[in-house]
A and B are shown apart, each in its own frame.
Chain A
Amino acid sequence: MTSEMSTTLSQNPQPEPDHSVKQPSLPPKGRGALAKREARLAWGLLLPTIAMVSLVIILPLLAIFWISVKPVGLADLRPVAPVVKESLRKKGDDYRIEYRVRNSSQSKSIENVSFSDTIPALVTLSEVPSPCSVSGDKLSCDFGTMEAGFSERLRIPVVINTDEDTAESVVEGSLPLVVGRGDSVLTNSEFTADNFKRIFDSKEFASVLWATVFYTVVGTIGALVVGLFAALLLNRSFKGQGILRGLYLFPYVSPIIAVAFTWVTLFDPFSGSFNALLLQMGVSSEPINFFGQKPQALIMVTVFEIWRYFPLSFLFILARMQSIDTDMYEAADMDGASPFQKFWYLSVPQLLGILSVLFLLRFIWTFNKFDDIFLLTGGNAGTRTLTVNVYEQAFAISNIGAGAAVAVVIFAVLLTFSVLFLKYVSREEGL
C-alpha cells in the first residue's frame, strides 16, 4: 500500500479524531493511526524472521570476533569438570568401594572440588581415607583445588551385609553428587593476539592469499565468459533448445558432492578415464596428477568452479538477451552491419549492466566458496583459499581461535565488497 493511500484512509474520521477536524481543508500531518497500525503489523510479520536470523547469524558473527581473540583449541570445547566413577570391587574375601576421581582436562585446574555420596544401609564403611568424612549415611570428600590431569583412586574397605550382586547394584545405584566447575576459556577474560599473529606471520599466508585471488578472479571471469558463450548458443530458436537449456543447467543443479567426486574419479592419475584418454591419444606420455600437483591443482579447481557455475551466468545473460528489442538489430541489418559488429556494438553494451552485477555477485560468492575445493583437493597442493583455511586451522590443526581469526579476515574483506556491491546494485536497480 502506498503512503498516499494510507493518508487518504486516515482522513476518515471514524478511527480517531485528528488535525483534519480543526483544519478540514488540509491533509493530515505526521503519521496517522492507520500508518502506525501498518508499521506495527509489518514489525509483527518480520519479528520471527529477525529473531531467528539474529540468533543464528548475528550472534555467531559476534562470537567469531570474540573467539578470534581467545586461545581456544578444539579440546577446550569439552567442559572442564571433575569426573567421579564409583564401583564395588572384591579382593580376596574383602570388599571395597572404589571412587575413581579425575579432572577431565589435561591443562586446566578446577577449584573447590568436592563430592558426596549416600552409602546404602546394606553396606558398612570401616575406615575412611584422608579427604573424606562420614556423617550419618553421607560420605563427603573435599579435594580443594584439583590440578590439571589429576587422577586418583579412593579405596574404602567395606563390609557388606547382603549378597554380592545386590550390594553391587545398590552401591553403584547411588550416584555421587559432584561439585566444582572448571573455568572455560570461552567465557573467561583471557585474551590474546596470537591467533592473528599466527595466521599473518606464517609463510602459508601468502600462498593462501594467492590461491584465493586466483581462484576468485579467474573463476568469476571464466564463468561469466563461458556463460556468455553458452547464452549466445541458446539465444536462437531451434528444435531442442529447451532440452539443451535444461541440460546445460545440470552442473549447477546436481549436488556438489556428486559432481566433485565424479571429477576426482574422472581425473584420477591411476584409474581416471581422462588420463587414460590423454595417454591413448598421445597428448601426454604419462598420467598427470591433476588434483595433487602444484600448479595443476589450483587450475583444476578453478576450471571446476567455471564448469559448475557457468550455467548461472548463462541463465541470467540469456534472460537479458531475450529482452533486448529486436528492432535494433533489424535497423542494424538495414545499415549493413555484420554479425560480429552487431554483437560488439549492440549486444555487448546492452549486456554490460547484467554482466557487472553478475560479476560482483559471483565474485563475492566465489570468494565465499568452501565445499568445492574442500571436496576436490582438501586444500592441498596449493589450493588452500581463505575459506578452506578456516576449516584447516580450526579442525585439522584443532586451533579454533586461529580459525576464527581467518573468519574475521574473510568478514572484513567481504564487508568491503558488500559496500561496493550495494553502491552498484542501487544503480542497476537490483536484479
Chain B
Amino acid sequence: MLRHGIVTSIIIGVLWAMVVATTVAVVFSFTTGDSARPALVGCLVFGLIAGLVTLFVSGRLLVFSILLVLAFVSMYLGLSPVQLAQNASHGQIIATGLLLGLAMAFPLEYMLRQVTPVALTRHIFEESVIRFLLGFGYVFFTAIVLVPFYVMVMTSLKSQQVLLKNPLDFSIDFSRGTAVFNSYIELFSQFNFGQYLWNSFYISVLTVFITLLFSVPGAYAVARLNFRGRAAFSRSILLIYMVPLIVLALPIYIVFSITGLRNTIPGLILIYPVTTIPVALYMLQGYFRGLPEEVEEAGLMDGLTRLKVIWQITLPLALPAIVSVSLYIFMIAWNEFLLAFMLLDDPSKFTLTRGVSMLNTSEIPRQHLMAGSVIATIPIMALFLGLERFMTRGLTAGSVKG
C-alpha cells in the first residue's frame, strides 16, 4: 500500500511541501521582517498536487511551469503553503511564489525519478525515501549552521531600537550610509578592539612557536627512538590530554595570584603552550610514524647525526603536517576563553575573546556584542577557508579534544 507509486508520490510531495514551506517562511521572515507562516492545509493540497504532477507529467520544464502557475494561483487564492501578511506587496508575493515553485519542482522531480504509478519494488521505494531524506538533510543542516552566523552578522549592523521593535527584521537600512558599521567603529575607537586584535594575534603566534619548539623534538623521540618507558610515555600524553582545563585553572589562578603573573600577558603566554603541547605531541607523533623510516636510515648511513637527520630530512618531509598542527594550535589559542577570562582583569591587556566577554553586560547594546563576535570569528574563518585542506587534516588528527 505504502509502496504504491501514487501513495509514495503523494506522501513525499506533502512532506517536501512542508519542508519547503517552512524554509521559505523562515527565509522570508529573516530577510524582510514581515510576517510569513507555513500553512498546513496549503501544504497538504499543494504537496498532493505537486506529487501527482511530478509522477504523471514528464519533462522537467513542463513540471516546473505547472507548479509555478499553481504556486501563484494558490498565493492569490490565499490557499498557499506559505501565508503572507494581508498587506504583502506584489513583489513579495511573486518572489515567494517563484521560490515555492522552484524549490518544489526540481527536488521533487529528482526524488521521484524512478517512481511509476504502479506497485514499487523495495529498491525504488527506499531510494526515493533516501532522496527525500537527503533533500531534507541538506536544508536542515545548512539552516542550523547558517542561521546563527546570519543572525550574528546582521544583528551587528542594526541599532538597538530597531532590533527591539521587530527582532525578525534583518533587512539593512543602507540609507544610513556608513552608520551601518557604527558598532564596529565604536568597538575600535572606544573599546580598544584594535589592541585586543593585536594581543590575540601575537599571543596565538607565540603560542604556536613555543608549542612547536617543545613538541617537535618530543614527538620525534616518542615516534622514532627506542628508550625504556616509551609506551608509558605515549599513553601518559593521552591521559594528560584528558585533564579538564578548569581543574588546572584553579591552582594556576592561585599560583599566578601569589607570584604576580596574573593579569600579565607573559603569564598567559607561559600557560597557553602547556595546554597545547600535549595535543601537538599527540598529533605530531602520529605524523612522524607515518613517514618512511628508510629515508632517515639512509641519512644515518651517510653519516648524518640524529639531530641533523631530524633537521634536514624529517622536518621538510613533515612540513605539511606541521602546518596543519600550527593552524590547529593557532585556532585553540585564538579561541581560548577560560584562562583569559580568569587571569586577565586589566582592560588594556585583554585578548579578543576576553574583550568580547566584557561586552556582555546590559549597559552595552547587543549589536556591540555581536560586532565583537564577528571580529573574533572573521580571522579564524578566513584562515579556515583559505587553508581548508590543512585545517581539516589538523582537525581530524587532533581534534579529539574539544
Residues of A within 8 A of B (CB): 1-3, 5-6, 35, 38-39, 41-43, 45-46, 48-49, 52-53, 55-57, 59-61, 63-64, 67, 77, 79, 186, 229-230, 232-233, 242, 244-259, 261-263, 265-266, 268, 270-273, 275-277, 280-282, 307, 309, 312, 315-316, 319, 336, 338-340, 361-362, 364-371, 374-375, 387, 390-391, 394, 400, 403-404, 407, 410-411, 414, 417-418, 421-422, 425, 430-431
Chain B's nearest CB lies how many Å from the CB of A65?
A: 10
Contacts of B380 in A (CB 8 A): 253-255
Q: Is the CB of A77 within 8 A of B296?
A: no
Interface of chain B: mostly helix, strand, loop or mixed: helix
Q: Is the CB of A338 within 8 A of B274?
A: no
Chain B's nearest CB lies how many Å from the CB of A230?
A: 6
Q: Is the CB of B148 within 8 A of A60?
A: no
Q: Is the CB of B29 within 8 A of A366?
A: no
Interface string of B375-402 (1 = CB under 8 A from A): 0110011001100100110011001111
Contacts of A77 in B (CB 8 A): 254, 257-258
Interface string of B19-56 (1 = CB under 8 A from A): 00000011001100001111000000000000000000
* Given the contacts A262-B370, A338-B122, A414-B242, A56 and B271 also touching, CB distance less than 8 Å: yes
In the bound complex, what is the Cα–Cα distance between A390 and B250 (angstroms)? 8
Contacts of B297 in A (CB 8 A): 1, 5
Residue B144, interface by CB 8 Å: yes
Chain A's nearest CB lies how many Å from the CB of B183?
A: 13
Chain A's nearest CB lies how many Å from the CB of B239?
A: 6
Of B57-65, B88-96, B98-106, B213-221, the segment with at least 4 beta carbons within 8 Å of chain A is B213-221
Q: Is the CB of B152 within 8 A of A262?
A: yes
In the bound complex, what is the Cα–Cα distance between A421 and B130 (angstroms)? 35
Residue B149, interface by CB 8 Å: yes
Q: Is the CB of B396 within 8 A of A316?
A: yes
Contacts of A261 in B (CB 8 A): 356, 360, 369-370, 373
In the bound complex, what is the Cα–Cα distance between A13 and B25 (angstroms)? 83
* Given the contacts A246-B385, A387-B244, A52 and B277 also touching, CB distance less than 8 Å: yes
Using CB atoms, name the residue of chain A closest to B33. A276
Interface string of B122-158 (1 = CB under 8 A from A): 1100110010001001100110111111011001000
Interface string of B189-228 (1 = CB under 8 A from A): 0000000000000000000000001110110111011111
Contacts of A370 in B (CB 8 A): 244-246, 338
Which are the 5 A-B pairs with shortest beta-carbon distances?
A258-B373, A368-B244, A60-B251, A39-B227, A45-B217
Chain B's nearest CB lies how many Å from the CB of A418?
A: 6
Interface string of B234-253 (1 = CB under 8 A from A): 01001110111111101110
Q: Is the CB of B218 within 8 A of A273?
A: no
Q: Is the CB of A390 within 8 A of B246?
A: yes
* Given the contacts A67-B250, A233-B138, A336-B123, A250 and B149 also touching, CB distance less than 8 Å: yes
Interface string of B252-279 (1 = CB under 8 A from A): 1011011000000000000101100110
Residue B72, interface by CB 8 Å: no
Contacts of A46 in B (CB 8 A): 217-218, 221-222, 233
* Given the contacts A247-B146, A277-B168, A410 and B247 also touching, CB distance less than 8 Å: yes
* Among B38, B218, B248, B366, contact of A61 (Cβ-Cβ < 8 Å): B248
Q: Is the CB of B151 within 8 A of A265?
A: yes
* Among A39, A56, A247, contact of B252 (Cβ-Cβ < 8 Å): A56
* Given the contacts A253-B384, A256-B335, A261-B370, A49 and B214 also touching, CB distance less than 8 Å: yes
Chain A's nearest CB lies how many Å from the CB of B293?
A: 7
Residue B331, interface by CB 8 Å: yes
Contacts of B239 in A (CB 8 A): 418, 422
Q: Is the CB of A247 within 8 A of B246?
A: no
* Among A265, A275, A281, contact of B25 (Cβ-Cβ < 8 Å): A281
Residue B306, interface by CB 8 Å: yes
Residue B295, interface by CB 8 Å: no
Residue B334, interface by CB 8 Å: yes
Residue B374, interface by CB 8 Å: yes
Chain B's nearest CB lies how many Å from the CB of A369?
A: 7
Of B8-16, B159-167, B173-181, the segment with at least 4 beta carbons within 8 Å of chain A is B159-167
Most chain A beta-carbon neighbours within 10 Å: one of B134, B247, B278, B297:
B247
In the bound complex, what is the Cα–Cα distance between A5 and B229 (angstroms)? 19
Q: Mind listing 9 A-B residue pairs with CB under 8 Å?
A: A38-B306, A60-B250, A64-B250, A247-B142, A253-B331, A259-B148, A261-B356, A262-B151, A272-B167
Most chain A beta-carbon neighbours within 10 Å: one of B141, B277, B286, B395:
B141
* Given the contacts A1-B226, A45-B220, A46-B233, A258 and B374 also touching, CB distance less than 8 Å: yes
* Given the contacts A3-B226, A265-B366, A282-B37, A248 and B148 also touching, CB distance less than 8 Å: no
Q: Is the CB of B248 within 8 A of A246?
A: no
Q: Is the CB of B240 within 8 A of A233?
A: no
Contacts of A35 in B (CB 8 A): 226
* Given the contacts A39-B225, A41-B221, A45-B218, A273 and B353 also touching, CB distance less than 8 Å: no
Chain A's nearest CB lies how many Å from the CB of B249?
A: 8
Q: Is the CB of A257 within 8 A of B277?
A: no
* Among B126, B151, B170, B247, contact of A340 (Cβ-Cβ < 8 Å): B126
* Given the contacts A49-B214, A258-B356, A261-B369, A233 and B137 also touching, CB distance less than 8 Å: yes
Q: Is the CB of A387 within 8 A of B152?
A: no
In the bound complex, what is the Cα–Cα distance between A362 and B399 (angstroms)? 10
Using CB atoms, name the residue of chain B closest to A308. B402
* Among B372, B391, B401, contact of A365 (Cβ-Cβ < 8 Å): B401
